[in-house]
Chains A and B, each alone.
Chain A
Amino acid sequence: MTGTVLTTRRVDAYHALTVVAPGIAERFRPGHFVGVAVGGPNTSMLTRRAFSVHDVKPDYGGTVEFVLSPRGPGTAWLAERRARDTLDLVGPLGRPFPLPRDPVTCVLVGAEYGSATLFTVADALQRRGCRVDFVLGAASADRVFGALRARRMGETTTLTTEDGSLGLRGRVTDVLPAVIADVRADAVYACGPMPVLRGVTAVAVELGIPVQVAVEERMACGIGVCMTCVLPVIGEDGVTRMVRSCVEGPVFRGERVRFDDVGTIPFDALGAPGGGTRHVG
């Protein structure tokens, strides 16, 4: 569908784009993402870029906002969009975050602009009576996304930067065990680069509380047809499968994702070369 850019703004090191897209806003649930075409109709850039949705508002029939970090030519093109430009979007895509039925205490962990995803989650959790605490971090102060908003929404907000320019010096995983203990957290929600998710999952597993992670894997289609965004995930039956992070994810239970094996085909995965699950032709 085609959406019109409503506003575009810089947020520290990032860009936030708000697009009028009623069809997406209507069906959106926290954790969903959108696939955005870049470069215009005659572009040489064929793959869509996937962005998690930061905010959904009812204005103009429904708007979605997503945050991007200009890195390559595609994101640079998006960063140059102005109000009234049109964008080609597909969404909402992926599986949203599961929410607890009871009012429990949740720690929301975000690294870099991964925290953009967390605010709709926080909103949904609070509407269910959950207590929400934030842990946000990045390499430097200008790369911590949403600190102000987290302070407004969360019971507590702990900030970390690797260079010490904001909050505590270190990474989100350094402070997470203490935060979980202090607030007596019942669950963890996390979004950010894969190494962070791996660390957050390790902490949550160690402390024995459930953890939901939204993974960041590069995608070409976002709708489950290209098979390029796979990662090894352990299924309910204990079998590891190479699953698509776009349609089976991007949200997974942290302990089910084999973070150490991302980028490989584990030998015991279903259909792995020479694996024990091969059928005899």
Chain B
Amino acid sequence: MSVDMRTYLGHVELANPVTTAAGCAASGSELAQFFDLGRIGALTTRSITMAPRAGRPTPRMAETPSGLLNAVGLQGPGVDAFLERELPWLAQRGVKTVVSIGGGTVAEYTALARRLTDAPGVTAVEVNLSCPNIEDRGRVFARDGAASAEVIASVRSVMRYEVPVVAKLSPDVLDIVSVARACVDGGADALSMINNPLGMSIDTEAMRPTLAAVTGGLSGPAIRPLAVRCVWQVHAALPSVPIIGMGGVLTGRDAFEFILAGACVVAVGTALFHDPYACLRVLRELEELLAARGFHRLADAVGLAHRPPGASTRHRIDLEESSL
């Protein structure tokens, strides 16, 4: 029995709910050597910045228990090279592309969004709000609902109406629901969570921080419970907003957990470093899990864990018949 894996990001239909996480698929061509990128729901680019960026010094990576600390620092060729080479390459292959953008000021995000407006092949724009806000003493945008909302509103105002704007949230906040709500009020069509929480590791041989940048973003299964909690809370508060869930998805079961918590798209990140075929494997395993539990449509499983305790799984039938 096959399961209808189609899902919607805003009003954009994706063939299936698996995408890559921002910063984990480079320009796409690296992964294309391993599998056909057209088979995943969408590919999310690394965060594109206005100017080329050399990133942070090495060492940029430290392995931690079930996790990975990284401090790459948004290395990339800048928006010109992206529009000239990378995006057309993806567009030619018909890959649905979610373009992640990063900037230090609201004006920079807006300028980036404007550059993407006329570019063919942009399926959605994901706004990486975990960049330091140069105008606010380096405070990260995502930590502040108002600053996040300002960026989102500005990007939304210049982006073509049919391109959804996705706000990527950081878990390093007191109340992720309030930041999520501010972004939606600012015009976000969807939310994506979670970005890497900050972590640190110390090399006990050298007795120095392991990363050149001292702190880095923690990813991998170590953060999955944190990510599932964020998706759960935000879906409970804003049930109609599409959520891209991510954080330590290694298997179809992990993806299913995010979907039950309320995500309608699931991004695979660190798993790609371990297994270049992870996206297709996660997709296959997820479909098998859904089929084994009697689901005909992926959509029926989205947020299902929110049903009241005691409700039987037959509840699903009611959902199918409801307007959801």
> CB within 8 Å of B: which residues of A?
37, 44-48, 74, 88, 90, 217-218, 220-221, 223-231, 241-242, 247, 262-265, 269-273, 275, 277-279, 281
- Residues of A with C-beta under 8 A to B137: none
**Interchain CB contact (< 8 A) of B50 among A224, A229, A275, A281:** A281
**In the complex the two chains form, what is the Cα distance from A92 to B27 in whole Å?**
20
Would you list 25 pairs from A and B whose C-beta atoms are within 8 A, ordered by A residue? A37-B274, A37-B275, A44-B65, A46-B67, A46-B220, A46-B273, A47-B273, A47-B274, A48-B274, A218-B59, A220-B273, A223-B34, A225-B25, A225-B30, A226-B24, A226-B70, A226-B72, A227-B55, A263-B58, A265-B57, A271-B54, A271-B77, A279-B51, A279-B52, A279-B80
Are A228 and B54 interface neighbours, CB within 8 A? no
Interface of B is mostly: loop
Mask, B233-272, CB within 8 Å of A = 1, is 0000000000000000000000000000000000000101
Closest A residue to B68 by beta carbon equals: A46
Are A44 and B66 interface neighbours, CB within 8 A? yes
A119, chain B: closest CB distance, angstroms: 27
B69, chain A: closest CB distance, angstroms: 10
Are A221 and B220 interface neighbours, CB within 8 A? no
**Interface presence of B61 (CB below 8 A):** yes
Query: Which of A74, A228, A242, A273 has the most B CB atoms < 10 Å from its CB?
Result: A228
A141, chain B: closest CB distance, angstroms: 25
Are A225 and B66 interface neighbours, CB within 8 A? no
- Residues of B with C-beta under 8 A to A224: 26, 30
**Interchain CB contact (< 8 A) of A225 among B24, B50, B220:** B24
Closest 4 CB pairs of A and B: A271-B52, A228-B61, A221-B273, A271-B54
A234, chain B: closest CB distance, angstroms: 14
Q: How large is the interface on B (under 10, 10 to 19, 20 to 34, 35 or more residues)?
A: 35 or more
Are B61 and A218 interface neighbours, CB within 8 A? yes
A24, chain B: closest CB distance, angstroms: 14
A50, chain B: closest CB distance, angstroms: 12
Query: Which of B24, B46, B55 has the most A CB atoms < 10 Å from its CB?
Result: B55
**In the complex the two chains form, what is the Cα distance from A265 to B63 in whole Å?**
22
- Residues of A with C-beta under 8 A to B107: 281
Are A230 and B75 interface neighbours, CB within 8 A? yes
**In the complex the two chains form, what is the Cα distance from A228 to B68 in whole Å?**
11
- Residues of A with C-beta under 8 A to B77: 271
B21, chain A: closest CB distance, angstroms: 10
- Residues of B with C-beta under 8 A to A231: 58
Are A47 and B31 interface neighbours, CB within 8 A? no
**Interchain CB contact (< 8 A) of B60 among A46, A230, A270, A279:** A230
